[in-house]
Structure 1
Amino acid sequence: MTPSYRVSLSIVSHGQGHLIKYLLEDSRSFTGPNFEILLTINIPEDMSFLSDFKDLQITVIENLQPKGFGENHNAAFACSRGELFAIVNPDIRAPKLDLTALTSVAASPKVGACAPRVLSAAGTTEDSARRFPTIPRLLKRVLLRRKSPDYDLSSRSQVPVDWVAGMFVVFPRATYQTVGGFDTRYFMYMEDADICRRLRRRGYEIIVDGSTSVIHDARRASRRNLQHLSWHARSALRFLTGL
């Protein structure tokens, strides 16, 4: 009989095995419902680190050529067996994660996606949820450098938001299927805002559950790499114009 899981965790590696091994170590102490891990190897890398995690239920997907963020997670979803589907960035740490709260929130019929509170390595609350981008809002952030948070995420309460950054997001399986998963026209960046917008348009809520938190070791590639900056700009244009 094919085993069933409450949660499927999808992780995509871009040569980031050195980070993922710490996340896998954290997962050994996850409490709450049972889970499986789908690890996508997007570019060739040394996978010897996986030999230390034979006790975990890990399905490895090796790409013949690199794929974008959404396409990778959609492919992992097709292989998953969980009632809930969670995308998790390689640079997330979750040493004391109890999945119970997140899965309880995601199980509500009105919820399309939920996310934990995201902390920096220093323990401060990150700006992981925002209102949908508009041209005036982007101009304020870029030109006027007005970057105050759109929501107060510092409490342990549940906060309805427009969209959550795709660092750690849990989707009900049926809901993810209903909207067709991520839009693969976004190669990287803004696909998280797009899927949340499509969920919101169908009447679902996007929730940040402050009772649960994870730690994010931010890489900020779009600020250092011209290719990432180009992807970010094109994705923003697509989101704003629908083209």
Structure 2
Amino acid sequence: MTITASIVLYHNDPLEVQEAVRSCLSSPLINKVYLVDNSTEDNFRSLANNERIEYISNAENIGFGAAHNLAIQRCVTSDYHIIVNPDIAFHEGVIEHLTAFMDQHPDIGLVMPKVLYKNGQLQRLCKLLPTPFNLFGRRFAPNRRWARQLNEQYELSFFQYDQIADIPCLSGCFMFVRNNVLQTLGGFDTRFFLYLEDVDLVRRIGHIARTVFYPHVSISHGYQKESYHNSKVLRMHMKSAIQYFNKWGWLFDRERKQINQDTLKKLTGKK
């Protein structure tokens, strides 16, 4: 069994990064952790202090997906690869539990565990495939009734996060992926510099394997909505949204409509 993981860095909090690395190394199943640094300085090189860690310095910000792809290209023989955000932390046993679950279900290409804020509160990261009204409404008109109603459905507000479920849109903060699926797809679409690269990848995985939420183990995630506070990052977010809908379809996306309808039927039990 070979499991690899990658963490993309960009001027992050050193203590959070150390905790993310420690969490990965706590599992003997993870053979290699790739630290891919998009920072202008290689201040995190010192973390590569044992043979299970490989540090890759880009000396510039090449983007989230492109940086992860550098690691993905180095681990073609892995059984599983884990995409890990630098503000993630988890306890011993999480990787073993997820590995056993994936081993038992070869039709699953991606699994995401329950994700909690640092204070233990649930993060609602299971979603439907987004429409333009979902993304732009929740960002620019969050208090409008129509936006709230659309957002409740998009975020599956009724879902209790207490059951294993096929979900078409899962967060990229922690993605436990069957590596042959990841290699078949070529990793992330590098046209997305930042934001929605995970939505795009999960959707592509869904074409050839199941994408599943698994509630029986949890991880913690710092999760800061940076595009709500930084105008430059907001512009990146908007650019990625435009690229995403240009790729998959704006108002007319039959596949999205069918997938979302099927997901709602399965989760609600309604025909």
**TM above 0.5:** yes
Report the counterpart of residue 232 of structure 2 in structure 1.
227
Residues 1:48 and 1:137: Cα distance change in structure 2 (over 3 Å): closer
Q: 1:154 aligns with which of 143, 156, 161?
A: 161
Partners of 1:106 and 1:171 within 8 A in 2? no
Q: How does 1:48-87 map to 2 (within 5 A)?
A: 49-50=46-47, 53-54=49-50, 57-80=52-75, 81-87=77-83
Partners of 2:34 and 2:71 within 8 A in 1? yes
Q: Distance in 2 between matches of 1:38 and 1:113?
A: 19
Residues 1:212 and 1:113: Cα distance change in structure 2 (over 3 Å): same
| Superposition misfits of 4+ residues, deviation over 4 angstroms | none
Report the counterpart of residue 31 of structure 2 in structure 1.
35
Matched, 1:194 2:200: yes
Q: Distance in 2 between matches of 1:139 and 1:226?
A: 15
**Amino acid corresponding to residue 68 of structure 2 in structure 1:** H
Report the counterpart of residue 95 of structure 2 in structure 1.
99
Report the counterpart of residue 112 of structure 2 in structure 1.
115
Q: Distance in 1 between matches of 2:180 and 2:54?
A: 21
Unaligned runs of 5+ in 2: 249-271
Q: Distance in 2 between matches of 1:38 and 1:160?
A: 29
Q: Distance in 1 between matches of 2:137 and 2:11?
A: 35
The structure where helix makes up a greater share of residues is 2
> Secondary structure at 2:206's aligned position in 1?
helix
**Amino acid corresponding to residue 109 of structure 2 in structure 1:** G
The structure where strand makes up a greater share of residues is 1
TM-score, scaled relative to structure 2: 0.79
Tell me the alpha carbon deviations over residues 27-69 of structure 1, each in whole angstroms, 9 at most, x when there is no partner: 34336x3431011111114236526x43x60011111322111
**Amino acid corresponding to residue 91 of structure 1 in structure 2:** D
**Amino acid corresponding to residue 242 of structure 1 in structure 2:** K
**Amino acid corresponding to residue 40 of structure 1 in structure 2:** V
Partners of 1:105 and 1:111 within 8 A in 2? no
**Amino acid corresponding to residue 213 of structure 1 in structure 2:** S
Q: 1:240 aligns with which of 225, 245, 259?
A: 245
TM-score, scaled relative to structure 1: 0.87
> Secondary structure at 2:110's aligned position in 1?
strand
Partners of 1:101 and 1:212 within 8 A in 2? yes
Unaligned runs of 5+ in 1: none
**Amino acid corresponding to residue 74 of structure 2 in structure 1:** C
Which structure has the bigger radius of gyration? 2
Larger mean CA deviation between 145-154 and 163-172 belongs to 145-154
Q: Distance in 1 between matches of 2:25 and 2:191?
A: 35
Residues 1:48 and 1:179: Cα distance change in structure 2 (over 3 Å): closer
> Secondary structure at 1:129's aligned position in 2?
coil
The alignment's C-alpha RMSD in Å is 2.1
Question: How far did 1:96 drift?
Answer: 3.5
Q: Distance in 2 between matches of 1:59 and 1:50?
A: 9
Matched, 1:214 2:210: no
Question: How far did 1:188 drift?
Answer: 0.6
Report the counterpart of residue 126 of structure 1 in structure 2.
123
Partners of 1:12 and 1:39 within 8 A in 2? yes
Residues 1:118 and 1:82: Cα distance change in structure 2 (over 3 Å): same
Matched, 1:136 2:133: yes
Matched, 1:23 2:2: no
Tell me the alpha carbon deviations over residues 195-233 of structure 1, each in whole angstroms, 9 at most, x when there is no partner: 11112233x211111111100111221111112111111
Matched, 1:182 2:178: no
**Amino acid corresponding to residue 65 of structure 2 in structure 1:** G
Question: How far did 1:97 drift?
Answer: 4.2
